[in-house]
Structure 1
Amino acid sequence: MVAPYDTGARLLAEEVPGDNALAVSVGELAGRLKRMVEGEFGHVRLRGEISGYKRVASGHAYLCLKDDAAVIDGVIWKGQASALAFQPQDGVEVIATGRLTTYPGRSKYQIVIERMELAGAGALMALLEKLKAQLAGEGLFDAARKRRLPFLPRVIGVVTSPTGAVIRDILHRLEDRCPTHVVVWPVKVQGEGAAQEVAAAVRGFDALPSNGSVPRPDLVIVARGGGSIEDLWAFNEEVVVRAVAGCSIPIISAVGHETDTTLCDHAADLRAPTPTAAAELAVPVLADLRLAIDGHRLRTERCARRHV
């Protein structure tokens, strides 16, 4: 006959007949849980809203993903955080891909995020509106800070891709209207690193000395052809908006087609509906100027004759 399991309290632990549960250390149990979680959830995709996003000095990023039912901690290591195609912000819904792991020291589990994308066009627009409101609140889009364009710029700087129809259209229209010295700063206008290149180009033009080997522009055109909101996203990035708003040279933004609007357009001194239109806004028509000058000359001569 087997003795019943003794549930009485004891001062010292001892093996009880019939008890198959041997005591294990806390560390051993934590290790078993870690191996089980990592083995079972080695690849997961989670949809949730970002909360408490913070990027620390080491370059790693920490956040929570939450929905109506639960919250899970997450971490993005430095390399993956730098490669994200957007700047994460609280309140934005995303889809995170990674693996689950545990942190035995705090009895917690978390997702190590390897890739993160916005959860659809709605989330993308929400991120855009959030960033727009933030930058507008700082005064970067105020009409009072916008400058008038020079009437007849001697040098025009163009920030765009060196290949493609955009730069050709700008050069052809300038040639037709009023031949002008053009300096092109070639950049990527789409994809990873595009925003950083565009911002660096704007700052580079602004940093040129007035008497240097490369002429300092009197006017800058930031241009790109049309595309989807994803294609144009580099011109919505905060780094580009701040570079355009902080440039001491007047800027025309000509990004996308007439119906496309980016945050770069709001920060620039003037928005052009197309790159070709930007060239038209940049310079007057030389033939019209000559006609106007001839008209003034004739009026001056008539006035002089009447006086004589």
Structure 2
Amino acid sequence: MPPAEALPNAPEFTVTELSSALKRSVEDQFGHVRVRGEITGFRGPHSSGHCYFALKDESAKIEAVIWKGVHGRMRFKPQEGLEVIATGKLTTYPNSSKYQIVIEALEPAGIGALMALMEERKKKLAAEGLFDAARKQLLPWLPEVIGVVTSPTGAVIRDILHRLEDRFPRRVLVWPVKVQGEGSAEQVAAAIRGFNALPEDGPIPRPDVLIVARGGGSLEDLWSFNEEIVVRAAAESMIPLISAVGHETDVTLIDFAADKRAPTPTAAAEMAVPVRSELMLEVASLARRVGVCWQRGLESRRNELRAAARALPDATELLAIPRQRLDSAASTLPRALKTNTHVHFRRFAAASAKLTLGVLHAQIAQADHRLVVSSERLSLSSRALLHRRRERFETLDARFKASRVAYAQAKRQAISRERERAERLAERAGRALTTSISRLSARVDHAGQLLAALSYRSVLARGFALVRDEAGHPLHHAASIGPGATLSIEFADGAVAATAGAGRPAPAAAPATPKLARETKPAPSKRTPDPADQGNLF
């Protein structure tokens, strides 16, 4: 017989056991890592809200995943082609035998990545028309109320208030916000929209102009003003907005969406209001010029009046010729009246000779004929008009009935569809409620099992006992018990009182483990343990 082959000593693993062992090894070895690479294969969040993509460099690639809750809290969102530094932990995906990084934080890899992201976002917002010059509003010449969005503790607000006090004191409303760090972009956008939401005649006056200000800093410090939520809020503002973020060389995306960009917060205050002293000098100069012009105009008109008075002739000379014409007309008036009366009398006589009874009868007959013809034509036209109106009303009535039937049919179909939809939703709600109740019941059962496992009474049930002194404090060492001390020994089914003996041997050393006594014969309990007080084994 051929010799039997020796069996190997290596243990056998199932695929699941091997995958779990590899998963534990990878997670223990790489529990927290930072990886730099370029995002590839990112197509936006999955329908579940999770993000799946890969990080690559010149010669390698690693799969990456961001869970839904972490993605919602991220300040920088993943974008295709962006070089980033990812912080997370390595794990494996047993279903496809590959390893991946579960990302917990994401940040751009240096200033170059931030600039690239800023340029890409600038092109996107410019394509939407948020930076068009036609959308810009003119600043009010002298605003009554100025709204300032900035940090209340920085030097920016003090510079703005000091500059306004020097130039032209105005009422200032400050909306305190964070200008750097997580959540600052949301606060700035909420402040801009909050100022715009104030009513015109409310208890808090609505500002006539807004100033969004922040001191200088690095690109990372100013990044909150490059976020889309801030740029869109600035573009949607119905109140003219001045952007004063950073120094003159600093450029942020809110500068393009704002109605006016100021190089510094102090310059923004100068743009908002004019110089009061200069206005007063200008008004005084204009008042003097108006007075001089008025005096010159009055003197000029006085001279013109004097010249016109010297050029006018005497009233007697002006009325001499009209008076002569009046005398001549008065002398010829009686003869003209007699001649006019004679001419009219002759015309009346000629007309009366022609006016006979036959002519009158003929004219009356002709008028009667015209009246009859007109009445016949009116009757015919009224009947024709009535016929056309009746036909039109019949047509409209038929169309109305048809449309009413069609409308009723459409409404019945819509009601039927909504009823089916309501039934489907009710069925889904019932299934969801059943599933939710099952999950909550399982959680309650699990919590009960966990509570029972963590209770010290399970240790007492295995034959141990808990020793306390008169004050109820657990005793850890035998050396802490004096002769004749009153003790309370708690077992799984109750507690007994005991007195320490005086002749016991002295203990050698205090044990490092908790003081547990072996179970003895139970005695009637003098104290009922509080179920809520689980005590301490140590």
TM-score over 0.5 (shorter chain): yes
Counterpart position of 1:70: 60
Per-residue CA deviations over 1:125-175 (Å, capped at 9, x if unaligned) read 222222122212222112221111111111110000111211011011111
TM-aligned CA deviation for residue 21 of structure 1: 6.9
Counterpart position of 2:45: 55
Counterpart position of 2:149: 159
**Which stretch shifts more, 56-65 or 234-243?**
56-65
TM-aligned CA deviation for residue 235 of structure 1: 0.9
Tell me the SS of whatever aligns to 1:54. Answer: coil
Per-residue CA deviations over 1:85-107 (Å, capped at 9, x if unaligned) read 42332211111121111222333
Pick from 286, 290, 297 the counterpart of residue 300 of structure 1. Answer: 290
Matches of 1:27 and 1:45 in 2, distance apart?
29
Q: Identical aligned pairs, as a percentage?
A: 64
Tell me the SS of whatever aligns to 1:105. Answer: coil
TM-aligned CA deviation for residue 113 of structure 1: 1.0
Per-residue CA deviations over 1:227-265 (Å, capped at 9, x if unaligned) read 111111111111111111111111100011111111111
Matches of 1:92 and 1:197 in 2, distance apart?
26
CA contact (8 A) 1:74 1:111 kept: yes
CA contact (8 A) 1:96 1:114 kept: yes
Counterpart position of 2:397: none
**5+ long unaligned stretches in structure 1:** 5-15
Tell me the SS of whatever aligns to 2:44. Answer: strand
Tell me the SS of whatever aligns to 2:242. Answer: strand
Counterpart position of 1:29: 18
Matches of 2:286 and 2:195 in 1, distance apart?
37
CA contact (8 A) 1:272 1:278 kept: yes
Counterpart position of 1:41: 30
Aligned pairs, how many?
Answer: 297
Shift in CA distance, 56/294, structure 1 to aligned 2, threshold 3 Å: farther
Tell me the SS of whatever aligns to 2:101. Answer: strand
TM-aligned CA deviation for residue 212 of structure 1: 1.1
Answer with 1 or 2: which has the greater Rg. 2
Shift in CA distance, 70/289, structure 1 to aligned 2, threshold 3 Å: same
Matches of 1:264 and 1:27 in 2, distance apart?
54
Per-residue CA deviations over 1:28-73 (Å, capped at 9, x if unaligned) read 3322332232233222221111120533566543332122323322
Pick from 121, 129, 134 the counterpart of residue 124 of structure 2. Answer: 134
1:232-243 matches, within 5 Å, as 232-243=222-233
Shift in CA distance, 291/96, structure 1 to aligned 2, threshold 3 Å: same
1:3-14 matches, within 5 Å, as none
Pick from 55, 58, 74 the counterpart of residue 84 of structure 1. Answer: 74
Tell me the SS of whatever aligns to 1:106. Answer: coil
CA contact (8 A) 2:76 2:106 kept: no
**Which stretch shifts more, 245-254 or 58-67?**
58-67
- RMSD (Å), alpha carbons: 2.3
Counterpart position of 1:13: none
Counterpart position of 1:267: 257
Per-residue CA deviations over 1:75-94 (Å, capped at 9, x if unaligned) read 22344334434233221111
**Which stretch shifts more, 191-200 or 132-141?**
132-141
Counterpart position of 1:7: none
1:165-184 matches, within 5 Å, as 165-184=155-174
Q: Which has the higher contact order (CA 8 A, sep 6+)?
A: 1
1:182-193 matches, within 5 Å, as 182-193=172-183
Greater share of helix:
2
Tell me the SS of whatever aligns to 1:174. Answer: helix
TM-aligned CA deviation for residue 204 of structure 1: 0.6
TM-aligned CA deviation for residue 221 of structure 1: 0.2
Per-residue CA deviations over 1:165-211 (Å, capped at 9, x if unaligned) read 11011011111111111100000111111111111101111111111
Tell me the SS of whatever aligns to 1:130. Answer: helix
Shift in CA distance, 187/57, structure 1 to aligned 2, threshold 3 Å: farther
Matches of 2:109 and 2:49 in 1, distance apart?
24
Matches of 1:231 and 1:276 in 2, distance apart?
20
Tell me the SS of whatever aligns to 2:62. Answer: strand
**5+ long unaligned stretches in structure 2:** 299-538
Counterpart position of 1:118: 108
Counterpart position of 1:11: none
Paired AA for residue 225 in structure 1: G
Greater share of strand:
1
TM-aligned CA deviation for residue 284 of structure 1: 0.8
Matches of 2:54 and 2:44 in 1, distance apart?
10
Matches of 1:59 and 1:272 in 2, distance apart?
40
Matches of 2:48 and 2:206 in 1, distance apart?
38
TM-aligned CA deviation for residue 301 of structure 1: 2.0
Matches of 2:136 and 2:6 in 1, distance apart?
86
Matches of 2:281 and 2:36 in 1, distance apart?
65
Matches of 1:2 and 1:128 in 2, distance apart?
77
Shift in CA distance, 23/213, structure 1 to aligned 2, threshold 3 Å: same
Matches of 2:240 and 2:207 in 1, distance apart?
9
Counterpart position of 2:212: 222
Counterpart position of 1:250: 240
Matches of 1:150 and 1:210 in 2, distance apart?
16
Matches of 1:260 and 1:125 in 2, distance apart?
12
Paired AA for residue 46 in structure 1: V
Paired AA for residue 20 in structure 2: G
Paired AA for residue 86 in structure 1: F
* TM-score computed with the length of structure 1 as normaliser: 0.88
CA contact (8 A) 1:98 1:115 kept: yes
